[in-house]
Structure 1
Amino acid sequence: MNLLEVILALLGACVALAVLARRTRLPYAVVLIIGGMALAFIPGIPRVELDPHLALAAFLPPLLQASAWRTDWEEFRASIRPILLLAVGAVLFTAACVALVAKLLLPDLPWAAAIAFSAVVAPPDAVAASAILQRLHLPRRIVTVLEGESLVNDASALVLFRLAVGALATASVSPAIAALTFLGVALGGLAIGWAVAWAASRLLPLLEDTALEVAVTFLIAYAAFMAAEALHVSGVIAVVTTGIIVSGRQRALLAPQTRVEALATWSFVEFTLTSLVFILVGLQLNGILERLAAEAAGTVILASLAISLTLVVSRLAWVMPFAYLPRIFPSLSHDHALPRPRHAAIIGWAGMRGVVSLATALALPLAVPHRDLLIFLAFVAILATLVVQGTTLEWLILRLGVMEPGKRGMGAQEAAARRLMAHAALAEVQGRLDSPLDGAIARDLVGEFRDIDRVFSGVAAGGPQAELQARLQIRLAAIRAGRQALLDHHGAKPIPEELLVGLVSETDHEELRLTQQLNQLA
């Protein structure tokens, strides 16, 4: 089986397993890993061995930038304190606990290797919890904190990983030097990320081509990562910085069509890369288990249980005290950065490990003692957190009763925003009434825009939404009828394909827009 056949077979398996996960409502990552393990035992399946450096360089940049691209910078900035408490404080605390347990279980493991391993499993991945979080109406602040944490904690953990791996080659590293190096690596990554984002901001407006612009959004992720790594600073922080800056300016830098197509392209790439990482690790487990034959079975089992338990307990031990600080110090009761106990319990339990930990585990240097055992322990810890926490998180959320009631209809804030746009559009049309060229056309349109402004004004004021819903349904039916007439005509008397594709694409986009509004009103 050649490389192309292997890749196509893996992509087919990813799609099949994704459908299975959706049907069974199991965490997607769990199904992929178990599916990869099952595939590994099928006769004729080639043995998979990923190059550690390739695993990081190929998978991490686009996955990190995809997370940065989804980040709402205003919400992120408003929640920066709890995000940093988790992304830096919790990661370092968890890493310290895991490193200590790993050293106790494997006395011959160097401290640098123990810290490198702890940095692998320390950062949780909100993507692993996203399927559950999206189904439930959680307070927006919880979702923002978890997503923001998953964006920043990868950077802090991987900087720690980089320092630990570098320390393996030296006899000793003083804490002061390590702290300064940590700071230098982080600041260097920020500088590189800003420089790449600045260059992209100058380049994108010059391209004026959707395909080229989408391609550049991918290239800047790899450019930031590789430039930073070449200068021995944090490639992860560079990618995240580039992603946040460019995504924050995407409405000014990218045309509407580019934004639509980039979103679809990025969704596909993120699904493909995430799926491949999980399934490839599952495929590698067979070979790892064979090489673990020299390890005592009792040590492997004990270490697996101890590391997994340490990850869960250490995160809760870090998060929960902050929720009870206002009870001890009443002056902190108005500090909105501190979570409520029920919210803290959900944040603490949503500590599933995911794709970044898998990719980083594969990047452990080949010379690290007990490397296969450490990769296996990381694999078990990720699987354990996904299975135990991933399958019980929804139950915990329902049990604690923190869900907000589902919003039916269009909220006053959205209606006011839509009314603002309609009012501006009406003003623009009315400004052309006296034009000798555009006046007649403007008079034909002004009634339509006045009507739209009136409807949204009523909804924004809390009025009934039945008229708005009826309008959307009629427009949707009309668009579908027009598209069907076009297709029927094309069947009887073909029209140029380029023209057909363009007209159908217009109706598709308009149908999606109207359907989205109708779903909000339902």
Structure 2
Amino acid sequence: MLDNFPFYLGLLIIILLLIMLANKIKVAYPVLLVLAGLVISFIPGVPTINIEPELIFFIFLPPLLYEAAWTVSWKEMWRWRRIITSFAFVVVFVSALSVALVANYLIPGFSLALGFVLGGIVSPPDAVSAGAILKFVKVPKTISSILEGESLLNDASSLIIFRFAMIAVATEQFIFYKAAMSFSWMIFGGVAIGLLIGWLFMKAHKYLPTDANADIVLSLLTPYIIYLAAEEAHSSGVLAVVSCGLLLSNNRHRFLSSKSRLQGINVWESFCFILNGLVFMLIGLDLPQITKGLEEASISLPTAIGYGVVITIVLIISRILSSYGAVIVTLIARNFITVADRRHPGYKTPFILGWTGMRGVVSLAAALSIPVYLNNGNGFPQRNLILFITFIVILLTLLIQGLTLPYFIRKIKLTDIYDPLPRDEANHLLRQELAEFALHYLKTNYDDQVKDNTSLQHLIQKWEQHSKGIDDESIEQHHKHIYLDLLNQQRKWLINKNKADQTLDESIIRRQMHYLDIEEEKLRYL
């Protein structure tokens, strides 16, 4: 490890440069990183990279899922819960079933159980890839909310399919009632463990004498502890981490100080930035090991590439058809139940949702976790071919869908199909309402102090002008508690506003919360 340290250090520098280049040319950085990894892997003298599945499942996956759960809006997830769960579970299962049937028919010696192993591996789209692409194009908040919500759950559903298929391959039998019991425990047990440990960590943050540094360290430990606890209990570590992240994110203003929130955002963004960069680079670097295994299995490279291309086409078509199927079901269901939006989405929205099917880290980790040998000592059937097909699927979906998705979004022009107000206008209106609330609160609760203090009068004038900030240096020390109280009341008002107005984009609320945290921190240094 120490001998290759300069190589890994160089990789980090290359990752940073490539991400800068990706931002410059407006290309999703996972595409460039995978291609760069491929190129580097063919350079003579480059150390051989052996990716351990535990490295991705335990080191990379928990913090990436946890950070995603902190950034996603629970309100938006609940609003679009039916379409999100259908994409995260039904569409994933349809994709896995389609792959299983095609692989069983097309590939010699590929049983239906092996088909489901492959289907479980390649069925979940990668959230990081979609997020990196959507950063360069403007899409309705509805689309991004559905994709964010789906990304938190589809990893769990695909890994559950993968585990049951692995059991079927190893034991050559499938007992339905045992599978149903195990499936229920993995879902409900994972969620329960995540909520329980999340509640304990929330109390630890709140009642222990922690500072910002301790809070951040605790937050870094949380996803690993939860994932390990859930996996040891044979439930879903993915669902445990996601449920915990959603719980803590939704209550962050109850147990974390403004300083912990501000510093924590910077730490987590930098941490996940490096993890995402490394994992996509490693995908490309692992190609020589995968092709070597293919040669050992006496499978020609053109044949294996052909299988990978067919499976990729099956995945793309099945997801697009499933997207239109989900819309049809929603249109029928709205006649009997209340749905989030009764308007017809047209043919454009389902296509975009269906085209955002880039595969990534979870698929690679699941493929690598396939054991070389079964419990009876026999080699795992078709392991090397499954690994190679997985790599082809990741590469093709990143290149084909990843590079063309921005073009389709611009061409189709989805903007404002669902969004009730443009984001700038919604943000302006919210700031006006927040300023009016602040003025009313100051005049109602501190009217006597305002009359006798010029600094507080100046504060009122600033809010009346809807300015971006105030002159904190004019606030005397013994009057700072009034402004701190005002900031706390504004946070409560924003939380209530978020709950009351279901059409308001929660990211705008969080932006104002962030502004209030900055205002509070400014007071501490005066």
1:327–1:158 Cα change, 3 Å = closer
- Deviation by residue 1:338-369 (Cα, 9 ceiling, x = unmatched): 74422111111111222222332322222332
- Deviation by residue 1:90-132 (Cα, 9 ceiling, x = unmatched): 0111011112222223332343332222111111123212233
Task: Determine helix, strand or coil for the equivalent of 1:186.
Answer: helix
Q: 2:414 is aligned with what amino acid? A: V
Q: 1:289 is aligned with what amino acid? A: T
Query: How big is the shift at 1:425?
Result: 4.5
The whole-number CA distance in structure 2 between the counterparts of 1:432 and 1:475 is: 18
The whole-number CA distance in structure 2 between the counterparts of 1:207 and 1:99 is: 54
Task: Determine helix, strand or coil for the equivalent of 1:83.
Answer: helix
From 448, 451, 454, the counterpart of 2:458: 448
1:322–1:54 Cα change, 3 Å = closer
From 306, 315, 320, the counterpart of 1:316: 320
From 350, 358, 363, the counterpart of 1:357: 363
Structure 2 matches for 1:271-286, cutoff 5 A?
271-286=273-288
Q: 1:133 is aligned with what amino acid? A: L
For 2:510, the equivalent position in structure 1 comes to none
Structure 2 matches for 1:97-496, cutoff 5 A?
97-205=98-206, 206-293=208-295, 294-324=298-328, 331=335, 335-336=339-340, 339-367=345-373, 368-404=380-416, 407-408=423-424, 410-425=427-442, 427-430=444-447, 432=449, 440=452, 443-456=453-466, 468=467
Q: 1:84 is aligned with what amino acid? A: T
For 1:487, the equivalent position in structure 2 comes to none
Query: How big is the shift at 1:380?
Result: 1.4
Gaps of 5+ in 1: 434-438, 457-467, 479-508, 515-522
1:110–1:425 Cα change, 3 Å = farther
State percent identity of aligned pairs: 32
The whole-number CA distance in structure 2 between the counterparts of 1:327 and 1:262 is: 42
Task: Determine helix, strand or coil for the equivalent of 2:108.
Answer: coil
- Deviation by residue 1:377-424 (Cα, 9 ceiling, x = unmatched): 112111211211112212212222211396556531332124323543
The whole-number CA distance in structure 2 between the counterparts of 1:224 and 1:54 is: 16
Given that residues 62 and 223 in structure 2 are in contact (C-alpha distance below 8 angstroms), is that contact kept between their aligned partners in structure 1? Answer: yes
1:149–1:329 Cα change, 3 Å = closer
Query: How big is the shift at 1:29?
Result: 0.7
The whole-number CA distance in structure 1 between the counterparts of 2:88 and 2:432 is: 36
Q: 1:295 is aligned with what amino acid? A: I
Q: 1:371 is aligned with what amino acid? A: R
Given that residues 139 and 402 in structure 1 are in contact (C-alpha distance below 8 angstroms), is that contact kept between their aligned partners in structure 2? Answer: yes
The whole-number CA distance in structure 1 between the counterparts of 2:236 and 2:394 is: 24
CA RMSD of aligned residues (A): 2.8
Q: TM-score under structure 1 normalisation?
A: 0.82
1:116–1:428 Cα change, 3 Å = farther
Q: 1:347 is aligned with what amino acid? A: L
Task: Determine helix, strand or coil for the equivalent of 2:465.
Answer: helix
Structure 2 matches for 1:74-89, cutoff 5 A?
74-89=75-90
1:449–1:21 Cα change, 3 Å = same
Moved more, 143-152 or 42-51: 42-51
The whole-number CA distance in structure 1 between the counterparts of 2:307 and 2:437 is: 60
Gaps of 5+ in 2: 374-379, 475-513, 520-526
Query: How big is the shift at 1:57?
Result: 1.3
For 1:64, the equivalent position in structure 2 comes to 65
Q: 1:145 is aligned with what amino acid? A: I
- Deviation by residue 1:295-347 (Cα, 9 ceiling, x = unmatched): 12342122111111011000011111333457778947984457442211111
Q: 1:237 is aligned with what amino acid? A: L
1:259–1:100 Cα change, 3 Å = same
The whole-number CA distance in structure 2 between the counterparts of 1:49 and 1:11 is: 17
Given that residues 349 and 389 in structure 1 are in contact (C-alpha distance below 8 angstroms), is that contact kept between their aligned partners in structure 2? Answer: yes
